[in-house]
């Protein structure tokens, strides 16, 4: 009689997964207004770099302040940028991605009484430059947060049976 091949008990009683919700642009903008920190992705010397920034939604664009340096040079360049922001509550998480062109702004009364009035960088130092991200696309998704215990059974790839 041939020995039986090992099988793995991969059956579990996980609740059914709820589908990921694809967000429309209006929902994305509402979520972006509700948080003030995101991650700015730019290209520097051919490689992506990501920086945490705080921003404000201004009309259908994003504005942030920065000082002289990498972010300002990259934002003033010809390549596209992206900003990702996310958040969660007890049951659901979301993520929004804005892709577009960054434009370095000249300070103006309109800017300083609008988004600039309440835009305070977290890091100390001179942040005299305002940058607007003009979106080419705004996409987002929301999903139900899965309990960490759901993944516990999957760590060992199941329990081997029939190996004795």
- Find the DSSP H helices in 37-147: 70-75, 109-113
Domain 19-161 has CATH 3.40.50.2300: no
- B/e letters for 31-44, b = 16+ CB within 10 Å, e = fewer, are bbeeebebebbbee
pLDDT at 152: 63
Helix (H) or strand (E) holding 28: helix 25-34
CA distance 65 to 51: 12
What is the pLDDT, as a whole number, of residue 32? 97
The predicted structure's pLDDT at residue 6: 46
**Which structure tokens are listed for 161?**
């049976």
Dihedral pair phi/psi, residue 26, rounded to 5°? -60, -40
Per-residue pLDDT of the chain (164 residues; tens, 9 = 90+): 555 554 444 445 556 678 899 999 999 999 999 999 999 999 999 999 999 999 999 889 999 989 899 999 988 889 999 999 999 998 999 999 999 999 998 877 666 666 555 677 777 778 788 899 999 999 999 999 887 776 666 555 554 454 44
pTM score of the predicted model: 0.77
Q: What is the largest CA-CA distance in the chain?
A: 88
117: left (phi over 0), alpha (psi -120 to 50) or beta: alpha
pLDDT at position 138: 98
């Amino acid at each position: 009689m041939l020995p039986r091949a090992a099988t793995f008990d991969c059956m579990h009683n996980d609740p059914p997964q709820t589908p990921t919700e694809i967000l429309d642009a209006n929902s994305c903008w509402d979520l972006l207004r509700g948080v003030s920190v995101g991650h700015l992705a730019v290209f520097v010397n051919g490689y992506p770099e990501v920086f945490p920034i705080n921003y404000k939604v201004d009309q259908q664009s994003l504005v942030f302040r920065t000082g002289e340096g990498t972010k300002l040079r990259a934002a003033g360049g010809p390549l596209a940028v992206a900003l990702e922001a996310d958040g969660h509550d007890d049951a659901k998480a979301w993520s929004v991605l804005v892709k577009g062109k960054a434009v370095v702004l000249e300070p103006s009364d309109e800017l300083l009484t609008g988004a600039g009035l309440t835009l305070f960088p977290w890091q100390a130092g001179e942040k005299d430059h305002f940058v607007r991200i003009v979106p080419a696309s705004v996409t987002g998704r929301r999903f139900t947060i899965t309990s960490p215990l759901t993944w516990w059974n999957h760590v060992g790839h199941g329990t081997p049976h029939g190996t004795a």
